[in-house]
Amino acid sequence: MEKRNLAPMIYKMVFKAPEIAAKARAGQFAILRIDDGGERIPLTIADVNSFSESITMVFQITGLTTEKLSVLEAGEYIKDAVGPLGKPSRVENFGTVACVGGGVGIAAVYPIAKALEKADNQVISLLGARSEGHLIFREELQRISSEFYAATEDGSFGSKGFITDPLKELLGKRKIDRIVTVGPGIMMKAVAEVSRPFGIPTVASLNPIMVDGTGMCGACRVTVGQEIKFACVDGPEFDAHEVKWDEFLTRLNAFKEEERLAMDAYHKEKCVNC
């Protein structure tokens, strides 16, 4: 239905998906497949429009499937989409909630922050990215936030550095009742470490490798406390202070070489057919 390039390598797509749109709630995701031979990839549902029966998905080109997805245009079709999957975010009146998003994870923070604001929470948004051009959904989050902070690695917008710096400063001077974070694994780990000394409940939305999305394959397993959990059915949100982050980060890199080889083969084939 719609395609837009939000930032370098980051795209927003709106898909007609009546059955998913009718049931999707903040924090849930869908699994897409482009064609019969394609892999299945999970993408967070960034927004829902019940009037047009559509869902909004935001993704970054990180491998072969996301690159193929990025070249599709409005009016074209993908093979299938399954969802909504995962448990919805816990939304109630907590009080003051800090929503910390990084990179493409900012798009996933948005529906959660919007639902929390609707439940009469005071929402404080903290966004981190490489540069101002990578700060997606900035205006949308500013509209629903009582306070807004940003940090960019190059200093082009907000403070220079990482978003954990303004978060730490905020926690030192304000009472925060809950923290929700979505973004790169290393950022979510850092958020958990910053909030741990303050004893603030902190929830992270995890993005492990996923295949079937029903808990059968075990690919998305994560260790939380002393238990093995499956992000697709037990999550994707977990207590950030209990996640075994080093194990999680290692598993995220499990198929980097295979992904590189697949990309190389795809680009070589494209060159031959040019």
Give the pLDDT mean for 142-149. Answer: 96
Exposure of 273 in the CB half-sphere (CA atoms within 13 A)? 6
pLDDT tens sequence across 175-224: 999 999 999 999 999 999 999 999 999 999 999 888 888 888 888 999 99
**Is there a single domain that holds both residue 107 and residue 189?**
yes
**Is there a single domain that holds both residue 104 and residue 234?**
yes
Radius of gyration over every alpha carbon of the chain, rounded to an integer in angstroms: 18
Domain final position from 58, 85, 112 = 85
Position 26, amino acid: A
pLDDT-derived band of residue 266, with 50, 70 and 90 as boundaries?
confident
Residue 197 lies in a domain: yes
**Is there a single domain that holds both residue 152 and residue 183?**
yes
**Is there a single domain that holds both residue 23 and residue 69?**
yes
Residue 270 lies in a domain: no
- The boundaries of the domain holding residue 63 are 2-85
Give the CATH number for residue 26. 2.40.30.10
**Is there a single domain that holds both residue 142 and residue 12?**
no
Residue 21 lies in a domain: yes
Query: Residue 133: exposed, middle, or buried by beta-carbon count in 10 A (0-12, 13-18, 19+)?
Result: middle
pLDDT at residue 91 in the model: 96
Write out the DSSP string of 198-220: GT--EEEE-----SSSSSSS-TT
Say if pTM beats, i.e. exceeds, 0.85: yes
- What is the total count of domains within the chain? 2
**Is there a single domain that holds both residue 21 and residue 109?**
no
Domain final position from 53, 85, 117 = 85
* CB atoms near residue 139 (< 10 Å): 8
For residue 100, the cross-strand partners are: 126, 181
Give the CATH number for residue 194. 3.40.50.80
Residue 192 lies in a domain: yes
pLDDT tens sequence across 98-141: 999 999 999 999 999 999 999 999 999 999 999 999 999 999 99
More confident residue, 24 or 252: 24
Closest to 200 (Cα-Cα) out of 180, 222, 229, 224: 180
